[in-house]
């Protein structure tokens, strides 16, 4: 009699939305619940550029910034593939990159869309701009109105790749994180 192997299918879940929509707070809540999360790397890239004397890399060299993000997000995706975790959350995904390039009306090579089609996520949760919680800081320089506009470009980018977006309702951190967790449970 042969052995039976059980394989757990990994779910890659990405959280998207304009700046200041509550994604990071929810990811922190999910981490506190024991889930594995790939954190947003754009702040890391921005801070590294500042250390090198470039105040706003995305605004001064958007294509270089975007290539650095693409490398980082691709690396995160491949690291997730090596993980034995059943569910992995991502703070932003690869299509976010060309969404922002479109928002800034920046020409870019097809690799950004090609990689978005190659590295797919299982579910995409959309956080809409939320005026009551919006804050700007040294790395987030967009206004709330710009966040709304960016959100539209994000929606278009993910739909272009073929994703069905799940909108996360406004509410407490606990309610929002529970909404996501309930939405990713297998419905059999």
Would the pLDDT of 5 be above 60? no
Handedness of CA 128, 148, 98, 79 (dihedral sign): negative
pLDDT of residue 54: 67
Would the pLDDT of 20 be above 80? no
Q: Which two tokens stand for residue 134?
A: 């919006």
127 DSSP β-pair partners? 17, 168
pTM of the complete model? 0.85
Please enumerate in sequence order all residues whose Cβ is within 8 A of that of 144, keeping only pairs 6 or more positions apart, or say none: 20, 129, 131, 134
Q: CA separation (Å) from 182 to 139, 171, 175, 186? A: 32, 15, 10, 9
Q: How far is CA 41 from the centre of its chain?
A: 9
pLDDT of residue 122: 96
* For residues 146-172, average pLDDT: 93
The domains of the chain, with CATH numbers, are 11-181 (3.40.50.300)
pLDDT of residue 188: 42
| pLDDT tens per residue across span 73-120 | 999 999 999 999 999 999 999 999 999 999 989 999 999 999 999 999
* For residues 149-165, average pLDDT: 95
pLDDT of residue 110: 96
């Amino acid at each position: 009699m042969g052995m039976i192997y059980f394989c757990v299918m990994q779910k890659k879940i990405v959280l998207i939305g304009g700046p200041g929509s509550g994604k990071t707070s929810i990811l922190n809540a999910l981490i506190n619940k024991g889930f594995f999360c790939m954190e947003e790397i754009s702040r890391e890239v921005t801070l590294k550029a500042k250390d090198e004397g470039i105040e706003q890399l995305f605004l001064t060299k958007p294509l270089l910034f975007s290539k650095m993000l693409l490398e980082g997000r691709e690396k995160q995706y491949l690291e997730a593939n090596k993980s034995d975790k059943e569910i992995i959350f991502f703070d932003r995904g690869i299509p976010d990159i060309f969404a922002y390039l479109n928002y800034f009306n920046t020409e870019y090579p097809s690799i950004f869309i090609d990689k978005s089609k190659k590295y797919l996520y299982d579910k995409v949760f959309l956080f809409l701009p939320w005026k009551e919680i919006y804050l700007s800081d040294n790395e987030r320089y967009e206004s709330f109105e710009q966040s709304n506009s960016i959100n539209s470009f994000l929606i278009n980018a993910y739909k272009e790749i073929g994703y069905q977006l799940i909108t996360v309702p406004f509410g407490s951190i606990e309610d929002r994180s529970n909404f996501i967790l309930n939405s990713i449970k297998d419905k059999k």
